[in-house]
Amino acid sequence: MITLRDIQKTFIPPAGPFTALHEVNLDIAAGSFVAIVGESGSGKSTLLNVLAGVERPTGGTIHIADVALHSLTERELTRWRGSAAGIVFQFFQLMPTLTAAENVMLAMDFVGRWAPRERRERAEGLLRRLGVVAQANKLPLTLSGGQQQRVAIARALANGPSLLLADEPTGNLDSRTSDGIFELFAALAQEGETVVMATHAAAAGKFATRTIALADGRVVLS
Ligand code: ADP
Ligand code: MG
């Protein structure tokens, strides 16, 4: 489903060019749950951002379900990302003034794939699937960290993407809660979702179907 060929990403900050990804070649099958591991600074977030179409590679080609991301315009990339990729972050990044259900509905409002009157029911369905429907009408700050992350995952799934990307999604959670999130990703992958997650948590390897290790911007294990 995902094919990366000779992907390179060079940043050009004032201090001088820095290559964060070198000749990355990967094939990731649909329905896999991939853990990307590696030390801080090894390029995990950069790789996820390339997969999300947030960062454009400076070399190489990337195809996701037959879409050639490297050749899309900025505008086409934004439209692609809205419905094809869902992104989950370490610090959840929920809107604090909106309830859990409203956070999920807001993501649908941006893309417009579902009619306005269908959005609440769909949001509640996603929250139910993620085990937090009882929290639907609560504000994020009244929820536990694990519950907030489940709401953030529901939001990432709001527009029915086939690719779910997560950058250190359990970096702010205790190990028991983290295992619950990893189990959830494994279950989503079994249902056909492709999940790619950057993580420091050693326990992730027990749940992922595949581990890819990066060191200094190169794939050292896949
Ligand atoms: P990780 O997520 O594994 O900690 P990152 O992908 O965030 O690693 O970063 C990889 C390397 O690229 C780091 O050395 C980082 O400083 C550098 N880097 C990341 N983003 C930028 C940027 N926008 N400009 C310059 N350097 C960057
Ligand atoms: Mg990172």
User: CB of 205 closer than 6 A to ligand 1?
Assistant: no
Torsion, Cα 152 155 157 158, to 10 degrees, reads 170
Quote the ligand 2 centre to 134 CA distance (angstroms): 32
Quote the ligand 2 centre to 44 CA distance (angstroms): 5
User: CB of 199 closer than 6 A to ligand 1?
Assistant: no
SS3 state at 173: coil
Would you state the pLDDT for residue 168? 97
Would you state the pLDDT for residue 32? 98
Quote the ligand 2 centre to 90 CA distance (angstroms): 9
For residue 193 the two structure tokens come to 């979702």
Would you state the pLDDT for residue 155? 98
| Averages of pLDDT over each 10 residues, the chain, 222 residues | 97 95 98 97 98 96 96 94 95 97 97 96 97 98 97 98 97 95 97 96 94 97 91
Q: Distance of CA 171 to CAs 29, 59, 93, 156, 184, Å?
A: 26, 30, 13, 18, 16
User: CB of 40 closer than 6 A to ligand 1?
Assistant: yes
Start-to-end CA distance of the chain, whole Å, equals: 16
Nearest protein Cα to ligand 1, atom 24: 11
DSSP assignment of 119-168 equals HHHHHHHHHHHTT-GGGTTS-GGGS-HHHHHHHHHHHHTTT--SEEEEES
Quote the ligand 2 centre to 37 CA distance (angstroms): 10
pLDDT single digits (tens) 4-56: 999 999 999 999 999 999 999 999 999 999 999 999 999 999 999 999 999 99
